[in-house]
Amino acid sequence: MTHWQKSLIGIAYLLIMLVFAWRQTLAPEVRDDSALDYTALDRHVSVIAQKPHPIGSASNREVRDYIVAYFDSLGLETEVQKTTVVYRHPVKPARATIIGNVENIIVRLPGRLVAGTQDANGLVVMGHYDSRPLTPGAGDDASAVAAILETARIMAAAPAPLHDVIFLITDGEEMGLLGAQGFFRQHPAAKQAGLVLNFEARGSHGASFMFETSKNNAWLVGELIESAPDLQASSLAYEIYRQMPNDTDMSISKGEGIRGLNFAFTAGLFDYHAMTDNPGNLNVKSLAHQANYVLATTQHFANLENWQSAGEDWTFFNLWRGSMVSYSQGMAVALGLLVLLVGGGLLLTGLRTGAFSWSSITNGLLGVVIILLMVYSLFASLNAWMQKADAGIMRMTSMGEWPFLVYFIITIGLVLWFGHSVKQGLSRLDMILPSLALVFLGALAGRTSMAAWVPPVLLVPLMLAVRWRVSQPDLWTAALICWWLLTALVLYFAPNASYFFAWPLASVLLGAALQRTLSRMTDGRSQFVTVLVFSFIPLLLLPPVYILAYLALGLTLPQVLMMICALSLLLIWPLIKGIGSLVDGKAGPLLLASGLIMAIVGILGRDFDTRHPRAEELFYAIDVDQQTGFWVSPDARPGTWLGDFMGGRAQTANMTRIMPGYDQEVLIRESVPPAFAAATLTVISDRLINGKRELGLHLEPFGNAEYINILFANDAGISAATVNGVPVEMPDMQKTGDPAQDLAPWWRWRLYGVAEEGADILLTLVAGRTVPVRIVEVDYTMPGGAPSRPENSMSKPYSWSDSTVIFQTVKLE
């Protein structure tokens, strides 16, 4: 077998496995053996996600009424829990005080077990019906609500399950998990809850993934594998999610000690919390996949005779779609230790027999460090450049998986170039050119930190060290040692995630041992077949995880993800190294250059259209104190519709004019405000108790404000507060190291869903002081005179876009 034949087979094999990995991340085909009515699912989503429906809005009340009416039509016990909630996360304090009047929908399907008996636990099946202000929320979370409605229809018509089932449709999830807090901390039915199934979305398509469990999950995972069709899940995702700042409603139930499982599909991040998260863009396969999870898991757990507890977590993961591997944490530790022992034994054997030397390994480790430094610096600069470029991050996110492919091409090109150059002997150009290119990219991206300049500066001395050493770098053995160390670290800190490193390492180690045996007995063809075989497990397990990580996290720290990809390529170095020598050793540079060109074209050449519109912010602000109004935009640019609308009269100002703490430069254009009515804050009681002033206030909103910010001056000496009789925890005024939080001049409340009759506030504070209060109302409608958006523009997520903001200062004497 010639070198060309081996290289072409290696390329084909690599491409096939990568395509297979990508297909693993897609939602499976719609099951035709399900009891679900897929037409009904689509209908529910279309109604719920007609338009944005944030907590407290009229559109959210319409969605609530639709859901309640549907449950009533099934003959189920339906309750709307109306309560006031002050945000309190189990472990994470909020920067602002978040208060919400929530309206949870609680539906009970009675089970056969007698309430109060030992095994009579309730199963809570949960999703949320509110959306963020600037998204219809088809994926997040109308998809889950629709699935729960269909599951309720099917189970209501069937014989009663063993356990009670509580279908919980929460309100206010998007603004601070408020509905979940209202149910699990206030409602009597929460005391019966023994298991929670929560369903979410972070995009518009892709396979639904079980990404989080409660602790001691062995029994849970075993039953999940038994029940869920086309299951996608892994203990690695669980371990990673535990370290992330993200939350869902299940964060609250877990904090209350209730076990549970959390599901979501995560592809299509461009649509997450955006106006494009609409029914037309929601993938029907993803909706069906999620709905089949809801139905199958609810039926399964509701009919189990008893719910067990387990004293440990399990290792679990997909080999391929729907095929799960699971075993105990003890087994994970045993397998991990065995792999480490085998790896250590093979290293000592190789050193003793002269297969490699400490010198070649040390030189190889230097080579691995060089590759990782180049990858880190390159992608950190690319990411910084995209953040500077006109909507660069948004352009790349709109392309879905395509940027990951481009990044992978860049990474494999870089690894192949360096591997081939090391084999041929590093030239001066090989040493100088990468450093200069990385310095240039860092400067172009505007990176000025130490992290930007240290990697390219270190490259030259490291490459000189590799060049001057007598032994040729053994990149493969060095990569195996790095992978061995990663396996040991993960095995110690997160045993149930160690399979991700241990299985690929075990496969490669066994293949390496077999290959060296075959080298003394057979020809090169058998050795090459061995390479294909031992590369199978790494290519089966690793790429789907990398693709899913990119889809879920977008362009967050791509340099870290691509460093792991580079190390994975070195793990299967015998497979790919031949590719680098093609075209007289130019295959690596050609791939590297092609990837960079594709990335640049993606950053600069991606156009926005009706499916992927540009996110741009424009809102109208009214200064009640000055009786002035003005249009505000941080995104207006010359030659665009926003630039034309703002015109030459626009001036630069700071957002702190509207909201203290919002330090952002914007363009404003003054105009005569339309007729408006602002909220009032009225003193309804004022008395001295034990030397402290107790001030009763009534906040009465006017208009349709979705939420109201109230900012109390911190020097007012407020020591206690309640809203509608619910205590509000005082902020921790200790030094945090964050200047934005340390002794802030204002204590900010965000009130969601303020009822028409208003809210009653009671403050205990130092007597004899004037209390300045800043009130900022946000109504997601705009006055007349607002320009029409072009088809390739949408409201900007996480902003005041397309709203009217009314702000005023009230002084309470």
Residues 2-13: what's their mean pLDDT?
A: 85
pLDDT at 408: 94
Query: Does the pLDDT at position 35 exceed 50?
Result: yes
Q: How far is CA 15 from the centre of its chain?
A: 28
Q: Which of 412-416, 648-652, 778-782 has the lowest mean pLDDT?
A: 648-652
Q: Give this prediction's pTM.
A: 0.93
Query: Does the pLDDT at position 119 exceed 70?
Result: no
CA atoms within 13 A on the CB side of 369: 18
- What span, in angstroms and rounded, lies between the C-alpha atoms of 577 and 420? 8
Residues 408-416: what's their mean pLDDT?
A: 95
pLDDT band of 525, cuts 50, 70, 90: confident
Quick check: 137 and 112 in contact, CB under 8 A? no
Cross-strand partners of 318: 324
Query: Does the pLDDT at position 735 exceed 70?
Result: no
Q: How far is CA 218 from the centre of its chain?
A: 25
Phi-psi region at 204: left, alpha or beta (left = phi > 0; alpha = psi -120 to 50): alpha
Quick check: 100 and 130 in contact, CB under 8 A? no
pLDDT digits (tens, 9 = 90+) for 330-353: 999 999 999 999 999 999 998 998
Hunting for tokens 């053995």 — which residue is that?
A: 477
User: What integer best gives the mean pLDDT of the chain?
Assistant: 91
Quick check: 607 and 787 in contact, CB under 8 A? no
pLDDT at 378: 93
pLDDT at 741: 47
3-state secondary structure (DSSP) of residue 448:
coil
761 secondary structure, DSSP code: E
Query: Does the pLDDT at position 457 exceed 90?
Result: no
783 closest CA partner among 673, 658, 663 = 673
pLDDT digits (tens, 9 = 90+) for 267-323: 999 999 999 999 999 999 999 999 999 999 999 999 998 898 777 899 999 998 879
Amino acid residing at 127: G
pLDDT at 520: 59
Q: How far is CA 585 from the centre of its chain?
A: 40
pLDDT at 311: 78
Structure tokens at 772: 């300045």
How far CA 404 is from CA of 180, 361, 599, 760, in Å, comes to 36, 31, 10, 52
Hunting for tokens 């630069």 — which residue is that?
A: 652
Residues 7-36: what's their mean pLDDT?
A: 93
Quick check: 205 and 163 in contact, CB under 8 A? no
- What span, in angstroms and rounded, lies between the C-alpha atoms of 212 and 316? 12
Query: Does the pLDDT at position 163 exceed 60?
Result: yes
State the helix-helix crossing angle for 284-302 and 38-48, rounded to 10 degrees: 110
- What span, in angstroms and rounded, lies between the C-alpha atoms of 697 and 488? 60
Phi-psi region at 783: left, alpha or beta (left = phi > 0; alpha = psi -120 to 50): beta
State the helix-helix crossing angle for 558-571 and 475-493, rounded to 10 degrees: 120
- What span, in angstroms and rounded, lies between the C-alpha atoms of 629 and 623? 6
pLDDT digits (tens, 9 = 90+) for 511-522: 888 877 766 555
pLDDT at 518: 64
Q: Give the domain ranges of the chain.
A: 3-23+331-605, 29-320, 616-813
131 closest CA partner among 265, 273, 7, 239 = 273
Q: Using alpha carbons only, what angle is made at residue 398 by residues 397 and 400, rounded to the nearest 5 degrees?
A: 75
pLDDT digits (tens, 9 = 90+) for 169-212: 999 999 999 999 999 999 999 999 999 999 999 999 999 999 99
- What span, in angstroms and rounded, lies between the C-alpha atoms of 302 and 296? 10
How far CA 383 is from CA of 60, 387, 392, in Å, comes to 38, 6, 9
Domain 29-320: state its class: alpha beta
State residue 396 phi and psi, 5-degree precision. Answer: -70, -40
